[in-house]
A and B are shown apart, each in its own frame.
Chain A
Amino acid sequence: MAIGSVLARFGRKKEAVADDAYYTAGQMALIKARFKRKTTGVVAAWILGSLVFMGFFAGFFSPVDPTISGADKDYRRGAPQIVYFWDQNGFSLRPFTYTYQKEKAKIDLKALAGGGLDALDALTSSGALSSSSQNKFLVDEDKRRYLQFFVKGWEYSLIDLSMAGMDLDIRWDLHLFGVENGQIHLMGTDEDGKDVFSRTLHAVWITISIAIVALVVKLFTSLLVGGVSGYFGGKVDTVMMSITEAVRVIPPIPIYLACAVALAQLDLTSVQRYFAIAVVIGMLDFATLGRRLRTHILTERNQDYVLAAQLCGSSTWRIIWRHLVPSFGSYIIVDTLINFPYVILAETSLSFLGLGLTEPVNSLGVLLQKAQDPDIQQNMIWQFFPVVVFVFLIMAFVFVGDALRDAADPYAEKK
């Protein structure tokens, strides 16, 4: 209903419309209207939404199986295959790529077999064995491979709830795009022939799901600590707050590291490991939100509206759930969204050091780890594609969080 008229009220140049919609609009409608005013936030939200969407349906959007079974053995260390619309052979409405063939290193086996040291010297100095020469592929420009949309390909699980205890695993084999024969590698392949583009898409969702689990765990710990501390007050408050303070002064990454090392000896599967890391990151991050919650509950307990509710005969339970928690709800939502990048950074830092998730799991931290390899820096620069996606993802989160923080602030209109 009201979004249009509420928006009109917020519009800069338009005259404020005195209608009931603005005065009767709920908290969420107001936040939504204020959020829509901020262009950067809206753009970032769209980018973020499409990234997360593509990550969630990664199987559908990725043309190649990201695991080792989908690795292209004939196109290891291959460069990105660029999609063309026209070349010297003419224009085509359908995008296409070319056929690639591995360039065979010219090794004169006869001369080598003859025991010629000169031949060996020539071979080593020619660079035919160096890692950069392994990236060379012959491009056959006359053999076009046309891009096709909605093709059948490798099978993936669209929705897999078997982990949550339900025996539900919907499998599908339709993909957004592919090529006629063989595979297409939009962002090239790594040294095993695994498609970088597909791996990145799968990694986005894994990383985000770690962050979601971590933030849920964090929310529960902070609610518990902050709630108990604020509700009981007094000595309980003093003890809990001094423990929180102590947790706050220790740098978190070394603690994550210690926990990751401790987890490493437990012999977990990669899925269990992944949840354990998320739980650890979430558990140890309660200090800031816990403190805020405690302060909020301590101050709000004495507010007039609580008194009014008490005079109306509300029970304590109702006051807490219908008045106190909703009054802090928008802050919790915003704080959770703002904390997304930091949780993602914690996971990537751990994986980057080789202590979080490890190959062959596709997480952004695992893919970023490769950026440290000098061979990749010099010969396979396309493996930095996950880095770009990572920066985009974090930026989008930061912008959306920022816009949302402004939108959720009820005093924002004064500025």
Chain B
Amino acid sequence: MIADFIASTWLLWILLSVGGFLYWRGMHSQYFNYVFSRYVLALITLLIVSGIVFTLMEVLPGDCAEKYIAYKNTQGETITQADIAAERARMGLDQPLAVRWASWVTDLTLKGDLGFSCAKRQSVNLALGERFWLSFMFCMAGLIFAYIIAVPFGILSAFTINKDWKDRNPQHTKAERFVNTLGLSFNKLLDLQLRIISYLGLALPNFLLALSIILLYVFAGEPTPTGLFSDEWKSVPWFGDNGFEFGKLQDFLGHIWLPIFVIGWSATALQLQTVRALVVDESNKLYVDAARARGVDGMALWAGYPVRHSISPLFNSVGFDFQRIFNDLPIVAVVIGLTDAAALLIEALAQTNDQELAAGILFLVALVVISMNFITDIVLAAIDPRVRKSVLGN
């Protein structure tokens, strides 16, 4: 009896025990006090998000009862208006919005149940299942792709700032000055190219980029890498008769690069500019001059001072980068023909008006973003001395 009760409300207990642990530690530690307040704030934000999402889904036409009746209609039963009303009363759809929202949130916090998808005739958790993880993986891969390219090249691009003095440093010999000028011109050219690439990333939206790549394949007369697998491998299971199917993996990798590249593209462009601006801003600060005066030079100066201090604001924005990437994913999914949660979201919003499913996906994305923000906040407060000082005071 009690075990059943605890088992059916497992999520609530996890949430409460994490909160309780943080509160207990927070009584003696300033840092955990801060973590606890961030935790409460994240939960409140989640609650507001669920309210916004739930209200928004109300504006979509049609409701669950109508869809259920329509489903029954296809089974050969004739249905009257009274049946719809009765069905609506049975499902509790005649209750006011606030009551239904409360019950949705309660279900969610007690058992992690996202509700029942009316168009799919199964629970949202089941309908989403691994598709959500697929989308999550896409976004993470796009994010990692963006960071791997944007961070080093952004820093490199920022190197070119404030180097003009090398051209005309009277202490250098003519040959040295010539070499300096040559290197500087090369750097400037690189900087210009990177900036053009990043501008293009802003100007060429993801779906156009995907279309252009597909178009190139069409011109070359090769099969376009749309979808996740080509037709021959689609129905083959991962573990066949002769062990693991490496052919399928190869096929998968041959298709997966396109969505990752496409969704990583504009994130890379934006990150490139952000990193460059951050490093340039930091490199103009007094502490860099002070370090230079102490004789720190070259790579040690850059890596130890401006670059190191630019990382934390960058790290802080990971959550919102994830959100931005997921924002682009539905349209890319339509163009490339993916079958992940983003494609499901488009389907739920634009074709089947499946409010529960759409609300579930949006809520999960917001959950991921909020958790990422929470984690980056507490990690930064733990490792960055400046943040730690401002957060913990005195």
Contact = CB atoms under 8 A, between A and B. Distances in A.
Interface of A: 242-243, 245-255, 257-259, 261-262, 265, 341, 345, 348-349, 352-355, 368, 371-372, 374, 377-378, 387, 390-391, 394-395, 398-399, 414-415
B362 A242 contact: no
B60 A262 contact: yes
B218 interface: yes
B323 interface: yes
Contacts of B320: 248-249
A246 B203 contact: no
Nearest to B218: A377
Contacts of A245: 45, 48
B52 A247 contact: yes
Interface stretch (B20-28, B87-95, B288-296, B326-334): B326-334
Interface string B213-226: 01100100000000
B82 interface: no
B197 to A, nearest CB: 12
A410 to B, nearest CB: 14
Contacts of A248: 320
Contact of B208 (A258, A371, A415): A371
Contacts of B327: 251-254
Nearest to A265: B61
B167 to A, nearest CB: 13
Given A249-B323, A261-B353, A374 B280 contact: no
Given A254-B358, A353-B346, A249 B205 contact: no
Given A242-B41, A349-B207, A254 B345 contact: yes
Nearest to B200: A395
Contact of A353 (B41, B53, B203, B331): B331
Contacts of A415: 161-162, 280, 284
A250 B362 contact: yes
Contacts of A249: 45, 49, 319-320, 323, 366, 369-370, 373
Given A254-B362, A353-B346, A398 B334 contact: no
User: Is the contact region of chain B dominated by helix, strand, or loop, or is it mixed?
Assistant: helix
Given A246-B49, A246-B52, A261-B61, A355 B350 contact: yes
Contacts of B48: 242-243, 245-246
Contacts of A261: 60-61, 349-350, 353
B145 interface: no
B184 interface: no
Contacts of B57: 258
Given A261-B349, A345-B205, A399-B199, A251 B323 contact: yes
27 contacts: A242-B41, A242-B44, A245-B48, A246-B49, A249-B49, A250-B52, A250-B362, A251-B323, A253-B330, A254-B349, A254-B362, A255-B362, A257-B330, A257-B346, A258-B57, A259-B59, A261-B350, A265-B61, A349-B331, A352-B207, A353-B350, A354-B350, A371-B208, A391-B204, A398-B203, A399-B199, A415-B284
Contacts of A345: 205
A248 B369 CA distance: 10
A181 to B, nearest CB: 36
Contacts of B162: 415
User: Is the contact region of chain A dominated by helix, strand, or loop, or is it mixed?
Assistant: helix
A313 to B, nearest CB: 37
Nearest to B328: A253
A273 to B, nearest CB: 15
A246 B200 CA distance: 31
A387 B60 CA distance: 32
Contacts of A387: 208
Contact of B60 (A258, A341, A355, A391): A258
Given A345-B205, A353-B334, A387-B208, A250 B199 contact: no
A261 B358 CA distance: 13
Nearest to B210: A372
A35 to B, nearest CB: 17
Q: Which 10 A-B pairs have the closest CB atoms?
A: A251-B327, A262-B59, A246-B48, A394-B203, A249-B369, A395-B203, A257-B349, A246-B49, A265-B61, A249-B366
A372 B205 contact: no
A245 B45 CA distance: 7
Contacts of B330: 253-254, 257
B335 interface: yes
Nearest to A341: B202
A251 B326 contact: yes
Contacts of A353: 331, 334, 346, 350
Given A249-B319, A253-B331, A254-B362, A398 B59 contact: no
A399 B365 CA distance: 32
B56 interface: yes
Interface string B331-365: 10011000000000110011001000010011001
B189 interface: no
Contacts of A253: 327-328, 330-331
B211 interface: yes
Contacts of B350: 257, 261, 353-355
B366 A377 contact: no
Contacts of A391: 203-204, 208
Given A251-B327, A254-B345, A391-B204, 13 more contacts: A242-B45, A246-B45, A250-B49, A250-B52, A254-B330, A254-B362, A257-B346, A262-B61, A341-B203, A345-B205, A372-B211, A395-B200, A415-B284
Contacts of B365: 250-251
Nearest to A393: B203
A251 B199 CA distance: 22
A394 B200 CA distance: 9
B189 to A, nearest CB: 15
A348 B211 CA distance: 14
A395 B199 contact: yes
Contacts of B346: 257, 353
Contacts of A349: 205, 207, 331
Contacts of A259: 56, 59
Nearest to A248: B320
Interface string B356-386: 0010011001100110010000000000000
A121 B17 CA distance: 76
